[in-house]
Structure 1
Amino acid sequence: MSMRAPQREPASDLPQRITIYEVGPRDGLQNEKTVVPAEVKAEFIRRLAGAGLETIETTSFVPPSWVPQLADASEVLQLLGDDGLGPRRPVLVPNERGLDRALEAGVGAVAIFGSATETFARKNLNRTVAESVEMFAPVVARAREAGLWVRAYVSMCFGDPWEGPVPVEQVVEVSRRLMDLGCDQLSLGDTIGVGTTGHVSRLLDALDAAGIGADRVGVHFHDTYGQALANTLTALRHGVTVVDASTGGLGGCPYAKSATGNLATEDLVWALHGAGVETGVDLESLVETSVWMAGQLGRPSPSRVVRALAGSPE
C-alpha cells in the first residue's frame, strides 16, 4: 500500500510552526516559455490559497520586456479582487515605476530584488550593487509611507555562476544595506542551488552577529544539486521560520542559466509534517493543484512528492 501522509515523529530541534512563502505564481512561472493566461494564474493563486497557503507572491511589476510572462500583472490582480491584496499577497517591484503600478493596484506588500554580487547586479538590474541599493531606497521609503510590508530578496548568496564562491561577509554587507533601508524581511536566495548545510549555518550566524536575526530572515533554496531541503532544515534549526517554496517545484531564474527549480512546496510539506511542524497546508489539496497546473503547462511536475502521491500526470 502507498502512504498518503508521512508517519509523524516530532523533531525537538525544529520550530513548531513555520510560514511557507509560496513563490509559484511569480518565480515559478516567470521562466515558462509559453505564456500562461491571466485567468489560469488567478485560478492557480485561488487554489493555492484554498490548500492553506497563507502567503503567496502573486506577480511582478517589472517591465514586460524583461519578463513577458508577467506582463499581465494588473489583470491578474484585477481577476483576484480582494484575494490578491493585503500583506499576505506580496508583488515584486524592481523600481519606483513598478511601485507606482503596485500602489495603483492596491497591493499591501512588495518585494525588492537585490544581488550579493556585482556581476549579477549588472546582468539582472543593469546597475552596480551600490547603484541598486540607491535605486531601492525611495521604493522602500515610499512603500513604508504607504503602510506596505516590504521584503528584500538577495540573490547569489551562496555562489555565482560568473564569480564563483561568494564571501559570507559580502552577503552580510549587502543584506545589511538593504535591511537598513527599512525592509521587514530578508530572503536569502541560493539562485544556482550550490549552497550546502555548513555554508547555511555560517551565513545565518554571520547575519545574526550583524544584527539581522533569524526572526527577520526567510530562505529561498533552489534544488539544482539536490540540496534545497537539507539546507532548509538547517536554516529552521537556526531559528528561521519562513521558507520560500514553489508548488510543483516550478521555476528557476531567467538570468542564471544553470538554475533549476525552486524547492517544491509539496516536498517541504511532507518533510515538515513528518517532523511534526505545522504549515497550515493540506497536502492532498496542494498535490491536486500541482497536477492541475502541470496539465495547464503540458508537462509533469518535477516534485517527487507530487509524483509519489499522484503518479505522473500524463
Structure 2
Amino acid sequence: MNGIAGAVELIEVSPRDGLQNESVPVDTTTKLELIARLLDAGQRRIEVTSFVNPNKVPQMADAEALCERLPHHPDARYAGLVLNQRGYRRARASGRLHEVCLVVCASDSFGQRNQGQTIEQGLAETAAIVRAARADGIASSVTITVAFGCPFEGEIDTARVVGIAQALAEQQPDELVLADTIGVAVPSQVSAVIAAVRERIGNALPMRGHFHNTRNTAIANIVAALQAGVSRFDASVGGVGGCPFAPAATGNVASEDVAYLCQRMGLALSVDLERLNDTARWLGERLGRSLPGMLSRAGGFPPRAAG
C-alpha cells in the first residue's frame, strides 16, 4: 500500500495511560510485573508512569517508588508523563527515565480540566521543559491531545492543530504526537490532519499517533495514519485506558490488536503476539474484568499447530 513504511514502532502505554483511570487500586508490584511481561513480549519503549498530583490521579501516586524498581534491560527505554516543570523535576530526579512525555491540549476547555492550562500556557510550559530535557540529555515528546475532537468544545479546527504543531516544531522536541483522546476520529479526518500538519512543518519532527477505540475506529485510523506516512503508535495491552478528565474516554487501542494488524500486513514489528495475548489475559484477571482487546480472545492467525 502506498505510503506505508516497512517497519512500525509501538510505544506501550498500559502502565501509565492504561492504568491511570482504573477504579481498582493497582499496586507497584503488579505494575512492575506488567512491565516485565511487556519486556518479555518484545516491547522496548514503555510509558511507565506520570509525575502528576496524586490527589487527582491516585493510581500514579507511586511514580518514584516504581522508577526505583524498574527492571534493568539493555534495550528498554522508559518514559514518564509530566505536565509542568514541577513534574519534570520529579521525573529527572528519578534517574531512570529516558524520555519525558509532555502535553498541549487543542482546546482551552480540555486543557483547563486536564492540567490547569490554556493552549498558550501549555506551549510556554512545554518550551521550558523541552529546553531543560535537552540540556539534561533526556528525550522529549509532545502530545497534542483532543486533536480530533473535544468532549467540551466539540469539533476541533484543523488549523488550530496545525498552529500548535508549528509552535512545537519551533521548540524542537524529539517527537510530535497527535492524539484522538476521546476516540472520535475517522480515517478521512486522520489523513487530512496529518497531511495539513506535514504541509506546515515538513519533516521537522517525527510524528506518532495515539488512538482510542472508544467508537471502534482506532484500527481504521491507524491504517489511515500508516498510509499517511506515520509509523509510530501508542498502544495499551488489552486495550485498557482512559483519561480521568475526559468523560467516556475509554479504550486505548490494544497493543496485541495493532501488532496483529501490522504483522499480517507484512510490516516489521518485533513483538511476540502470544506473549502479548497472555499479558492481556493476565492483566484482565488482575483488574477483575474482561478487557476490550480483541486478539487475546480470538487468538492469532494462522493458529499455532497443537503440540
Q: Once the two structures are superposed, what CA deviation does each residue of 1:234-273 show, in whole Å capped at 9, x if it has no partner?
A: 1011111101111000001111112121111111111111
* C-alpha contact 1:215 1:240 (8 A) present in aligned 2: no
Structure 1 segment 164-175 matched on structure 2, within 5 A:
164-175=154-165
Work out whether 1:105 is the aligned partner of 2:94. Answer: yes
Q: Which of 108-117 and 12-21 deviates more?
A: 12-21
User: What TM-score do you get using the length of structure 1 for normalisation?
Assistant: 0.91
Output the CA distance in 2 between the equivalents of 1:118 and 1:200.
Answer: 21
Q: Once the two structures are superposed, what CA deviation does each residue of 1:29-81 show, in whole Å capped at 9, x if it has no partner?
A: 00001110001101101110110011111111111112100010111111115
Output the CA distance in 2 between the equivalents of 1:253 and 1:277.
Answer: 30
Work out whether 1:160 is the aligned partner of 2:150. Answer: yes
Change (3 A) 1:39 1:195: same
Q: CA deviation at 1:215?
A: 6.3
Percent identity of equivalent pairs? 38
Gaps of 5+ in 1: 1-10
Report the residue type matching 1:17 in the other structure. A
Report the residue type matching 1:88 in the other structure. R
Residue matched to 1:183: 173
Among 105, 109, 115, which residue is 1:115 paired with? 105
Change (3 A) 1:173 1:215: closer
Residue matched to 1:5: none
Residue matched to 1:251: 241
Residue matched to 1:88: 77
Output the CA distance in 1 between the equivalents of 2:112 and 2:238.
Answer: 30
Residue matched to 2:294: 304
Q: CA deviation at 1:12?
A: 6.3
Residue matched to 2:53: 63
Report the residue type matching 2:69 in the other structure. L
Among 101, 120, 125, which residue is 1:130 paired with? 120
Output the CA distance in 2 between the equivalents of 1:86 and 1:148.
Answer: 16
SS of alignment partner, residue 97 of structure 1: helix
* C-alpha contact 1:215 1:241 (8 A) present in aligned 2: no
Change (3 A) 1:258 1:170: same
SS of alignment partner, residue 208 of structure 1: helix
Work out whether 1:293 is the aligned partner of 2:288. Answer: no
SS of alignment partner, residue 69 of structure 2: helix
SS of alignment partner, residue 243 of structure 1: strand
Change (3 A) 1:212 1:156: farther
Output the CA distance in 2 between the equivalents of 1:29 and 1:162.
Answer: 23
Q: Which of 196-205 and 301-310 deviates more?
A: 301-310
Q: Once the two structures are superposed, what CA deviation does each residue of 1:191-223 show, in whole Å capped at 9, x if it has no partner?
A: 111111111111111111111439611000111
Residue matched to 2:214: 224
Residue matched to 1:31: 21
Output the CA distance in 2 between the equivalents of 1:288 and 1:71.
Answer: 27
* C-alpha contact 2:44 2:76 (8 A) present in aligned 1: no
Output the CA distance in 1 between the equivalents of 2:267 and 2:12.
Answer: 17
* C-alpha contact 2:100 2:141 (8 A) present in aligned 1: yes
Q: Once the two structures are superposed, what CA deviation does each residue of 1:142-182 show, in whole Å capped at 9, x if it has no partner?
A: 11100111000111111111111111110111122223222
SS of alignment partner, residue 208 of structure 2: strand
Output the CA distance in 1 between the equivalents of 2:2 and 2:162.
Answer: 29
Report the residue type matching 2:136 in the other structure. A
